[in-house]
Structure 1
Amino acid sequence: MSRFIFADTETTGFDPKSERMLELALIEVVDRQQTGRVLHLYINPEQEVSAGAYRVHGISWNDVKDKPVFKSVAQEVIDFMQGGIFLAHNAPFDVGFFNMEFKRAGVDFMIGRDVDVVDTLAIAKKMYPGQRNSLDALCTRLSIDRSHRKLHGALLDTELLVQVYLMMTSKQGRFNMKLNKAVSQSSTAAQLPCLQVALSDEDKAAHEAYLETIG
């Protein structure tokens, strides 16, 4: 059984050593199915929100100053993560903030040591080399609706990331199965010439739309 914990955070800035977490979202996915278990929390970061970060997520100090501090929810976060695999888009960013918050809270727990980490951005870069692989770009490429996403938000971004990951990995799985079947049926497959074709984003979008019409 594979148990994944999809995650995203919003923060007061971009350096975990000096900035703080102010929102987190965790979604549990077991055997490629969402279980319905979600942990979504706003957190008092105990400091002001930088102007640059506010432009990204639109969360101000006034929005979160009355929320619980991270130390008071740390064990709840650990209990949710434990026994799973942590997934995030550009995982080093989120891992850095989580681990710094655990350290500040005096908790002996580290993502990367106590739970394994998967970086979906690294997966996307291997699948789509040389292309933009932000969450927005992947949603567009994979025909995932993000029209309701005006600003970054931990819960919405995590929900989108689940869809992106499942789409990316399910397509790869189907391709591998077809490839293995084709190779097994031909002893000369390794001798066949390989034609490389570069597709534009428009070609890929049209292909995806066509696949939707035939299920």
Structure 2
Amino acid sequence: MRTETAAAPPAGRDPGRCYVAIDFETAGYSGNSACAVGLARIENGRLAGSFYQLLRPPSSRVLFTEIHGLTWTMLKDAPTFAEIWPECSAFLEGAHYLLAHNAAFDRRVLQASCRAAGLPVPEQPFLCTLRGSRRSLPLPSKKLDRVCEYFGIALTHHHAASDAAACAEIYLRLRALGVTDNQMLL
């Protein structure tokens, strides 16, 4: 486990560190049922790029359409996770940490999708902005949409690109409040 010293600059503002927020939408209960992925990169303490891709899930049965709005018709011609992995992997290059709001979910989907595709699982540790929000925000609910509302962050909830960008912004706001990487480490 990585530790921070009091003299270290805030992680989100350290020019030597890079973070990538990741968000998945899934088509089912299985960890490898990703049907959309969004990535948002933080460099030098600010958003530096994003990536979004619909994914063809392993089954034509798509659940959770009422949440994310995605259907088999929209996904059937999309590339598979394995097909887009080279782009995702390039986007993750140099990242010290991966970020997610409820990181246990997104880490599980990433690991399951990589394993199902026969790909190596990224080694970066995960930081959880839900965990950081629970530690520091005076809100009855720390769900992504509620935290975004609290901070005034624009959000199209359950759109993977928007959720990833919002997570990155939340991370920067939590760091500004003094929440450390260690306090968000999954």
Smaller-chain TM-score bracket: 0.7 to 0.9
Per-residue CA deviations over 1:128-185 (Å, capped at 9, x if unaligned) read 3773100111112223344xx3x51101111222222222221337xxxxxxxxxxxx
The structure with the largest helix share of the pair is: 1
Structure 2 length as normaliser, TM-score?
0.80
Matched, 1:154 2:167: no
* CA RMSD, 1 decimal: 1.9
Q: Check conservation: 1:87, 1:117, Cα contact below 8 A.
A: yes
Q: Check conservation: 2:39, 2:165, Cα contact below 8 A.
A: no
Q: Quick one: which amino acid aligns to residue 38 of structure 1?
A: S
Greater Rg by CA: 1
Q: Quick one: which amino acid aligns to residue 124 of structure 1?
A: S
Q: 1: distance between equivalents of 2:71 and 2:102? A: 23
SS in 2 for 1:159: helix
| Runs of 4+ more than 6 Å apart | none
Counterpart position of 1:91: 103
Matched, 1:12 2:27: yes
Q: Quick one: which amino acid aligns to residue 164 of structure 2?
A: T
Q: Check conservation: 2:62, 2:72, Cα contact below 8 A.
A: no
Counterpart position of 1:63: 74
Q: 1: distance between equivalents of 2:138 and 2:109? A: 27
Counterpart position of 1:140: 149
Segments of 5+ residues of structure 1 without an aligned counterpart are 174-215
Structure 1 length as normaliser, TM-score?
0.70
Q: 2: distance between equivalents of 1:14 and 1:50? A: 10
Q: Quick one: which amino acid aligns to residue 42 of structure 1?
A: L
Segments of 5+ residues of structure 2 without an aligned counterpart are 1-15, 180-186
Matched, 1:22 2:28: no
Instruction: Report 1 or 2 for greater relative contact order, CA contacts < 8 Å, sequence distance ≥ 6.
Output: 2
Indicate how the Cα distance of structure 1 residues 79 and 135 shifts in structure 2: closer, same or farther if over 3 A, else same. Answer: same
Task: Tell me the percent identity.
Answer: 23
Q: Quick one: which amino acid aligns to residue 7 of structure 1?
A: I
Matched, 1:43 2:55: yes
Q: Quick one: which amino acid aligns to residue 24 of structure 1?
A: V
